[in-house]
Structure 1
Amino acid sequence: MKNTISHRVADFLKNFPPFTFLNQKDIEILSEQISIIYKEKDSVIFAENEETHSCFYVVHKGAVALRKGQKNDILDMCDEGDIFGLRPLIANENYKMEARTYEESILYAIPIAIFRPYALENKDVGNFLIQSFASNTRNPYSKSHRGKLYGETLAGEILDTDTKLLDIQPVKYSKKIVTCSSITTAKAIAEIMTKKNVGAVLVVEDKLPIGIITDKDLRNKIVTGEYPITTSASLIMTSPVITYPKKLTTTQAQMAMMKSNISHICLTKDGTPNTKAVGILSKHDVMVSLGNNPAVLIKAVKRAKKYKEIKPIRASIMQLLQGYLDQNIPISLTSKIITELNDVCIQQVIEIALKKMSTPPPAKFAWLAMGSQGRSEQLLQTDQDNALVYEDVSEELKEKTKKYFLELATHVNKGLFEIGYDYCPAEMMASNPKWCLSLDEWKKLVHHWITNTGKDEVLLSFIFFDYSLTYGDNEIVNNLSDYILEDIKANPVFYLHLVSGALQSPSPTGFFREFLLEQDGANKDFFDIKRRALMPLSDAARVLILSHAVKSISNTPERFEKLAELEPQNKELYLACSYSYRALLKFRTKQGLLHNDSGQYIALGDLTKLEKIKLKSTFKTIKEIQEIISIRFNPSNIL
């Protein structure tokens, strides 16, 4: 006879992670061991510092508040389907917070001893539990929690070890082998290569490879006159043949060619010259197999002579980004690679634009990326945010120099548009005379922002102070950066306005941890991950890094990591902010690729319970970091 209650429990659990990762039979077996607990409102389930229970809990009905400290502040709110009390499963120590029912509640108590084998045997279950447990700390992958089930992870992220990296797939090779004997003449070999349209001929004896002749051999040894065209293959072939087994990965093939400085590899049955050849692999084959390999894409970009030739490469960069995300490559590494590729594309656009100009630049200049691109966080193709700064020139050359760089910037902005970057709606581009200035003009403009602290000036400072050099003279940029830091130091009131501006970002959640959605407009009922989650962290990082007068670090996670070095007392919070920002950036990027947009506005109905939990777990740091800067700088002092 079926246990009706346990089946009802199983039917409930199967809809929520980590139980979604289990098969139905396992859930039913587990449900038979679960206790059902009823708690009235304001009942303590476990107290702070209490010894751990033999179970963890799932909320079936109602809500449970997790509280900590003398003020009993609510750190988190667990509602239907949420799990809590995981400490006895992950860490052998007392509870670090209190769990108290916020309203009348029904809980499922799941025995640790019964559930532990599932966590150890099923990586999806284990990974989810680590995240859920750690989300009640500042850093979901802090050293004290990381690796409790599976050992150390890479760069703070859980990797799927079952997936294959992009460049370790088996390489594709040609099975149509063109062969000759050792007595075949060079002339005959050249004719064979031309007829068969191949770049190499394998020299065989008794069906075994004894040498190889490539088009390079013919150029170097025959065309140069070193040997006559009647020379036999045995005298001009490369021998012995370098052979490998046919199950060669793309990376292995590339490394083999680089190691031996060769352009062709012979593949045999067992990988030695003692068995029959099964294929020939050329450097071209490797390049094709690599496809979206960053090195290949960079070479392709640098070969481009026209803007339109870069656009399909940009599409390949987006495919590479999708591949990295699919394979859970750490977002820190992904950001660096994609940013480097984006920068190369922009640099090549500038190179092409310079060739369109009738004369070389009349002065040194620097092309600046601003906003998210300046922070190396623009993974998706959004609109342009850029500026141009050139060295100061004599009075009589000012007008001519300005005209030149405006014309150059117009070419560049047009080129960027052609490869996929939309024009900035606010015209914050170098082709706008406002953003194409000499070094002295930029200093005067920045000084105006710093000494006239209106809302617009603070907003422009937020965007511009995240600039980075994409192309041109680094000395000009350093000069400008030094001036900005000195001017801010001389005008501390401006800094308070920056702090005040950083605290204006709207909160990501409201009462009961509910996501705060847009109330009107085209994105009504969507969650704005940029304004409500990413901006509060990037604004805080900017304010704090400027307070330490640190220049040349514009990336938000890297700013937090530098702050962790500078302020050891706040290291845990800063590293948590760094992790949270990367997690949010990864989430936004995935959503943008999924919906072919900027990823800024998210339909919560399309998210799974697990995705919502992961998203919410990153929000804890926002409140704390804003409290830090509010207390430290006290923007209420602004008159």
Structure 2
Amino acid sequence: MKNSIAERVYDFLKLYPPFNILKNDDLFEISKEVSIIYLEKGDTLFKKGDAYNEHFYLVRNGAITLFHTNANNTQEIINISDAGDIFGVRPLIAKENYKLTATANEESIVYAIPINTFQEVTKDNASVYKFLITAFATNAYDPYTAEETGKIFVDYLPNSSQDMVNFQTANYTKNPITCDSKATLKEAAIKMSSHKIGCIIVIDEAKKPVGIITNSDIKNKIATGLFPIDTPVTNVMSSPVITNKKDLTVADGQLQMIKHSIGHLCITKDGTINSKLVGVLSHHDVLVTLGNNPAVILKEIKRAKRTKKLRAARIKANTLLKSYLEQNIPLTHIIKIISQINDAVTISAIEIALKKMPAPPPVSFAWLPLGSQGRKEQMLFTDQDNAIVFQDVPENQYQETQTYFLELAKLVTKSLNKIGFEYCEADMMARNTEWCKSISEWKAQFEHWILRPDEKAILLSSIFFDFNCVYGDQSLVDELSDSVYESLSKTSLFFKFLGKDALKSPPPLGFFKQFLVEENGEQKDLFNIKSRALMPLIDAARLLILSHNIKGINNTSERFEKLAELEANNKELYESCSYAFKALLKFKTKQGLLHNDSGKFIKLETLTKEEKLKLKRCFKPIHEVQETLKIRFDLKNFI
């Protein structure tokens, strides 16, 4: 008799990691043992301090909020898990009492996964364990407030970029070149030469690896006359081979090679010499993987003398970004790493350009990235937004000084364009005289925008509130920031204009909860995740943080986190906005990597139902924060 409930559970679990990487029979065994829990809004599944039980959990419908109670006995949201998300894995990983509280955010259905059954069918599956460790660590880090409040499970999180690389599954060579154990060395060498490879695996009739021959073996055993060229491969090969399974990590592979003083690992079906060969991991493969990590990429960027080298290094960062997203590394860490790489690319482009200039800079200056790079949210290749501020000079030297920096900016923006960052269509770049000015001119410009606001001023100025100093004289940038906030203190009208601009994009869902898509043009029927979902949150965070006179926080999620600290009555809203922004940015980035574009426009028909539901969940705070802006800045009669 069929177990229809187990089949429904199975059909759902197979859509989500780590269950989607299990064998069908193993997954069905788990599905038969799953308990189904129904929760009303506000129901608590477990509390901090409760003894661990024999299950971990996955959300079927609804949402579960995980809280951490801090030293002041106040609750802080750690994560909001929705459909397909796992939580409560501490009993599976650490066998310790719960350190979080799990409460239903709305009416929810939760699957309780029996730990004993799960462990039995996954005991030899390192990919599953890797995913669970990452999920465990991710939920430990607070996605809303300062990083230090989330170090509950710090021992389980890779604590450096190198650790993250070591945590990756090794990328081995599949379908390796082999020869039969009855072959001669000459036959094996001809194969190696024709395929331009440095080793060949000797296999038996059952395709099991019995030995390996490398260039070194040929040099030491044939070229020296120890054996003739027609000797059987069994006389020359190194045997037995060292084997491992398909899902070994980079760190495991490297350790095995060091331990056995070898340069190649044979990858077999079950990880032993008694099963079929499926691949080879070489020392070169390990080095290539290790080379694709932030530390190595940053070194390549700093050593680069030409734009071509910078482009190659930045393209590596996209591969790194994709790998981190696939492993569910916390987005906060990914953003910091990619932002550091983007800034390093800009710095190197400036340094290369300075060497091409006929003379050193006449006065001190600062290069200001704007927009997404200024907010440290730039994940993919996007268009450029930048500016230059330089030290004041006598009036009769101004034009000559500005000309120097305009020429420098042309070289830098040209390099950035070759690297992959498109020119700004509106020419909001440092090569434009409007965006290359002395400190006094910039002060006057911002004062004009702020004290005499209009729609054009808001359009031009809003992007410039997200600047930071990536190269040059930080004191010039600090001086400009102080001047900007001094001007803001003299008016409230400017905030109304900013508020009006922040409301220009309504919440992304229509009256019948349908996605609002583009109505005409090349993007007709596509969903613009940037303008309809991300920009409303970016604009709201900027306006609110400026109104609080807070300097030095440009990142959107960090702005909302700061606002949650400043306004206790709106804490839950701002935390939700921070979470939604990061989830939307992650979604946009994944779409961009998938389609090799900016990820800005999305074909809704390509999304699964679950992806659409997750997107819609992220839209909820947009309407609420826009309503807050209307009330806070009295915009109902101003729009």
- Which category describes the TM-score, using the shorter chain as reference length? 0.5 to 0.7
Residue 554 (structure 2) pairs with residue 554 (structure 1): yes
1:569 matched to which residue of 2? 569
Distance change (3 Å), C-alpha of 1:483 and 1:141: closer
Residue 46 (structure 1) shift: 9.8
Cα distance in 2 for partners of 1:433, 1:390 equals 12
TM-superposed CA distance for 1:453, in Å, is 2.0
Aligned to 2:591: 591
Q: Which amino acid aligns with 1:297?
A: I
Letter aligned with residue 399 of structure 1 = Q
Q: Write the deviation string for residues 305-331 of structure 1: whole angstroms up to 9, x where unpaired.
A: 121221111111111111111111111
Contact 2:144 2:561 (8 Å CA) reproduced: no
Contact between 2:526 and 2:601, CA under 8 Å: does it hold in 1?
yes
Check the 8 A contact 2:388/2:430 in 1, yes or no.
yes
SS of 1:619's equivalent in the other structure is helix
User: Contact 1:502 / 1:539 at 8 angstroms: preserved in 2?
Assistant: yes
How much identity, in percent, do the aligned residues show? 46
CA contact (8 A) 1:592 1:600 kept: yes
2:470 aligned counterpart, secondary structure: strand
Alpha-carbon distance change, 330 to 119 in structure 1, aligned in 2, over 3 angstroms: farther
C-alpha distance in structure 1 between counterparts of 2:421 and 2:550, whole Å: 30
Aligned pairs for 1:209-248 within 5 A: none
Mapped partners of 1:564, 1:57: distance in 2: 27
Please say which of residues 508-517 and 484-493 is displaced more in the overlay. Answer: 508-517
- Aligned equivalents of 2:143, 2:376: Cα separation in 1: 24
Q: Cα–Cα, structure 1 residues 456 and 29, in superposed 2: closer, same or farther, change >3 Å?
A: same
What is the alpha-carbon distance in structure 2 between the residues aligned to residue 377 and residue 291 of structure 1? 24
Q: Deviations over 1:486-527 (max 9, x none)?
A: 111102111111112112222111234322222221111111
Q: Take 2:366 and 2:327, find their aligned partners in 1: how far apart are those partners?
A: 36
Counterpart position of 1:205: none
- Once the two structures are TM-superposed, the CA of residue 627 in structure 1 deviates from its matched residue by 2.1
| Deviation for aligned residue 1:94 | 9.6
Give the equivalent residue in structure 2 for 1:296: 296
Cα separation, 2, equivalents of 1:625 and 1:420? 35
State the Cα distance separating 1:459 from its structure 2 match: 1.6
Using the alignment, how far apart are the partners of 2:379 and 2:360 within structure 1? 32
Is the contact between residue 83 and residue 610 of structure 2 (CA under 8 Å) also seen in structure 1?
Answer: no
For 2:563 and 2:522, the matched residues in 1 are separated by 38
- Tell whether the 8 Å contact from 1:154 to 1:330 is kept in structure 2 after alignment: no
The 1:547/1:94 distance shift into structure 2, 3 A limit, reads closer
How far residue 287 of structure 1 moved from its aligned partner, in angstroms, is 5.9
Tell me the equivalent position of 2:359: 359
Structure 2 match to 1:179: none
TM-score, L = length of structure 1: 0.64
Distance 1:463 1:446 in 2: 12
1:556 Cα deviation from its structure 2 partner? 0.5
Please say if 1:539 is aligned against 2:539. Answer: yes
What secondary structure is seen at the aligned counterpart in 2 of 1:636? coil
2:475 counterpart of 1:489? no
- Aligned partners of 2:145 and 2:562 also within 8 Å: no
**CA distance 1:374–1:396, shift in 2 (3 Å):** same
- Cα pair 2:35 2:112 within 8 Å, conserved: no
Change (3 A) 1:120 1:556: farther
Query: Is this contact kept in 1: 2:143–2:332, CA < 8 A?
Result: no
TM superposition shift of 1:11: 7.7
Counterparts of 2:293 and 2:60 in 1: how far apart (Å)? Answer: 45
Superposed, 1:53-202 pairs within 5 Å as 117=114, 121=118, 165-168=164-167
Aligned position for 1:374? 374
The one-letter code of the counterpart of 2:545 is I
Report SS of the residue matched to 2:318: helix
Counterparts of 2:620 and 2:116, CA distance in 1: 26
Name the structure 2 match of 1:503: 503
In the TM superposition, what is the alpha-carbon distance from 1:167 to its structure 2 partner? 2.9
| Partner residue in 2 for 1:458 | 458
Give CA deviations for 1:349-370 in whole Å, capped at 9, x if unaligned.
1001111111110111111111
Q: Is the 8 A contact 1:19 1:27 kept in 2?
A: no
Sort the Cα spacing of 1:447 and 1:10 in 2 relative to 1 into closer, same or farther, 3 A. same
Alpha-carbon contact 1:246-1:268 (below 8 Å) kept: no
Corresponding residue of 1:235: none
Correspondence for 1:398: 398
1:626 aligns with 2:626: yes
Flag structure 2 segments of 5+ consecutive residues without an equivalent.
46-57, 63-81, 89-97, 123-127, 136-141, 172-241, 265-282
1:613 is displaced (CA, Å) by 2.2
Equivalenced residues, count: 482
* AA of the residue aligned to 1:422: E
Secondary structure, counterpart of 1:468 in structure 2: coil
558-567 or 325-334: bigger deviation: 558-567
Structure 2 CA distance for aligned equivalents of residues 518 and 119 of structure 1: 50
- Give TM-score scaled by structure 2 length: 0.64
Q: Deviations over 1:161-219 (max 9, x none)?
A: xxx942356999xxxxxxxxxxxxxxxxxxxxxxxxxxxxxxxxxxxxxxxxxxxxxxx
Using the alignment, how far apart are the partners of 1:511 and 1:559 within structure 2? 30
- 2:617 is aligned with 1:612: no
- Matching residue of 1:635: 635
SS class of match (2:469): strand
Name the residue aligned to 1:429: 429
Partner of 2:228: none
Q: Determine the C-alpha separation between the residues in 1 that align with 2:477 and 2:351.
A: 19
In the alignment, what sits opposite 1:326? 326
Post-superposition CA distance 1:70-123 (Å, at most 9, x none): xxxxxxxxxxx989xx99xx9999977689xxxxxxxxxx8x8x9654999499
Residue 444 of structure 1 and its aligned partner are, at CA, apart by: 1.7
Aligned residue for 1:368, secondary structure, equals strand
Look up the SS of the partner of 1:387 in the other structure.
strand
**Structure-2 change in CA distance of 1:95 and 1:167 (3 Å):** closer
Distance 1:469 1:49, change over 3 A: closer
The SS at the match of 1:592 is helix
Aligned residue in 2 for 1:513: 513
Task: Sort the Cα spacing of 1:48 and 1:169 in 2 relative to 1 into closer, same or farther, 3 A.
Answer: closer
Contact 2:541 2:559 (C-alpha < 8 Å) held by counterparts: yes
> Which residue number in structure 2 is paired with residue 233 of structure 1?
none
2:601 maps to which residue? 601
Structure 1 residues 158 and 603, CA, compared in 2 at 3 Å: closer, same or farther?
farther
Whole-angstrom CA distance in 2 between matches of 1:314 and 1:25: 41
How far apart, in 2, do the equivalents of 1:315 and 1:537 lie? 29
- Structure 2 counterpart of 1:417, one-letter code: N
What is the distance in 2 between the residues matched to 1:485 and 1:98? 45
The residue number in structure 1 matching 2:195 is: none
SS at match of 1:465: helix
Structure 2: distance between partners of 1:57 and 1:368: 44
SS of structure 2 residue aligned to 1:520: coil
Task: Mark the structure with the bigger radius of gyration.
Answer: 1
User: 2:10 touches 2:31 (CA, 8 Å); kept in 1?
Assistant: no
C-alpha change, 1:29 and 1:565, in structure 2 (3 Å) is: closer
Per the TM alignment, residue 401 of structure 1 is displaced from its structure 2 partner at its CA by 0.3
Matched residue type, 1:508: P
Residues in 1 aligned to 2:541 and 2:453: alpha-carbon distance in whole angstroms = 20
Partner of 2:231: none
Distance in structure 2 (CA, Å) of the matches to 1:266 and 1:116: 37
